[in-house]
Amino acid sequence: MDHSKNVNRVIIFGAYGVFGSQVARELRGRGVPITVAGRDLAKAELFARGLGPDCRALTADLDDSPSCRTALDGHAVAVNCAGPFNRLSAALLQASLTAGCHYVDIADDRGYAAMVRGYGDRFRDRGLAAVYGCSSLPGISGALAQRAHTKLASFANQGQSGAVPVIERARVTLFIGNKNPKGRAALASLVAQLGRPIAAPQGTLRGFRNREVVPLPPPFHSRAVFNFESPDYDLLPAAVGARAVSVKVGFEFRLGAYAFAVLALLGLGYGRRTVSILNPPCRFLSWFGHSGGAVMTELFAADGGSSWAAVSGRDDGQRMAALPCAMVAHALAMGDVATLGATTACEFLGANRMLDGLASSGFSVQEETRPLTN
């Protein structure tokens, strides 16, 4: 049944890109009328025609507030899927405030997430929500952290102490199957981190260094992973009380992971030229492996207990990453606005609602908790 008459129109910036197209299709499946926005009108119109007769297309410049404001006219929700986010200005945020439009993004860039949080009071004063990081990091990873923390607390309450567990360390892992399309923006985000300093609660780390082996769910199993920049470094200390946080990334193509690790050790200051060189081979080597992936959050308590939760799938890893954004945008389009101001996807939806939505979409949600040491 088409419920489009009961929901508000959503505009998606970057809707014909790798992740934007996933978000757009998920929203269309929920009956949401879509406007496709981008710099290339021909691409936007072609993609909009494929979505259905009530979908539109227009051009917009994300670095220009007046252009964004014009694009937002007639829309209730603006969704930003146009990365790389480390190069974006606050133009769309400012335009959303002016237009009275809710804002959603898939940003995993730490600086951009901090900028959205800085607009939190202004969105709250306007009766609007600005929901950021609605993707694998920090959206899914944050929900998994909440689930793992709840399980640890439940074990503590059932035991003799009843004390809230002190989380000594949190480790987040993003694992990417080799058949996932390699978007240029995602590659640019990774290259920008190679060897760069990462401010963590426990001190400074370096991007794509500090190899660790983590036990991932099937079909991936134990894999080598490396440091990755993420808003989780800022969010998990407050969300679950983590004293130390590490965020890791790994690839199914093992040789590719180690090649990036070597570049990180060389630390030569990589930019757009490096992205242009790496983009063709990354695309060429996408013919084998799985199109799925995994997100896992592990919590290690100070007194020996531990808990982990993970979402994974053999296929459709980028659909998995896009689902939090689609769930948030759909809720806002329906007028389901429980939280105002700047929030994460986990804060807006709640961990259980997000993880249940991922499970009902065919992805595996697994968890395990080991009791605290007496």
pLDDT digits (tens, 9 = 90+) for 221-276: 899 999 999 999 999 999 999 999 999 999 887 777 777 778 878 877 777 777 67
As a whole number of angstroms, the distance between CA 96 and CA 83 comes to: 18
What pLDDT is attached to residue 192? 77
Q: Which of the two residues, 112 and 151, has the higher pLDDT score? A: 112
| Most confident option among 4-18, 60-74, 158-172, 287-301 | 60-74
Cβ count near 262 (within 10 Å): 10
Q: Which of the two residues, 86 and 374, has the higher pLDDT score? A: 86
Residue 17: burial class (beta carbons within 10 Å; 0-12, 13-18, 19+): buried
Tell whether the torsion through CA atoms of 262, 265, 266 and 272 is positive or negative. Answer: positive
Mean pLDDT of 276-298: 77
What pLDDT is attached to residue 3? 40
As a whole number of angstroms, the distance between CA 310 and CA 236 comes to: 16
What pLDDT is attached to residue 373? 56
Q: Model confidence over 315-343: pLDDT tens digits? A: 999 999 999 999 999 999 999 998 999 99
Burial 223-245 (b: 16+ CB within 10 A, else e): bebbbbbbbbbbbbbebbebebb
Backbone φ and ψ for 204, nearest 5 degrees, come out as -90, 130
What pLDDT is attached to residue 158? 57
3-state secondary structure of 172: strand
Q: Model confidence over 64-115: pLDDT tens digits? A: 999 999 999 999 999 999 978 888 999 999 999 999 999 999 999 999 999 9
Q: Which CATH number, 3.40.50.10330, 1.20.1250.20, 3.40.50.720, 3.30.750.24, labels domain 4-135+319-354? A: 3.40.50.720
**In this structure, which amino acid lies at residue 221?**
H
Q: Which of the two residues, 292 and 156, has the higher pLDDT score? A: 292
What pLDDT is attached to residue 296? 97
Using only C-alpha atoms, the chain has a radius of gyration, in whole angstroms, of 20
Q: Which CATH number, 3.40.50, 1.10.3470, 3.10.620, 3.30.360, labels domain 137-318+355-370? A: 3.30.360
Domain 4-135+319-354 shares a fold with domain 137-318+355-370: no
What pLDDT is attached to residue 188? 74
pLDDT, averaged across the chain = 88
DSSP structural state of residue 372: P
Mean pLDDT of 195-222: 91
What pLDDT is attached to residue 278? 67
Question: For residue 280, is pLDDT > 80?
Answer: no
What pLDDT is attached to residue 259? 79
Nearest Cα neighbor of 78 from 35, 27, 136, 22 is: 35
Q: What confidence tier does 1 reach under pLDDT thresholds 50, 70, 90?
A: very low
Q: What confidence tier does 53 reach under pLDDT thresholds 50, 70, 90?
A: confident
Distances (CA, A) of 264 to 55, 282, 303: 43, 17, 34
Domain extents for the chain?
4-135+319-354, 137-318+355-370
What pLDDT is attached to residue 4? 42
As a whole number of angstroms, the distance between CA 347 and CA 352 comes to: 11
What pLDDT is attached to residue 257? 79
pTM metric for this prediction: 0.91
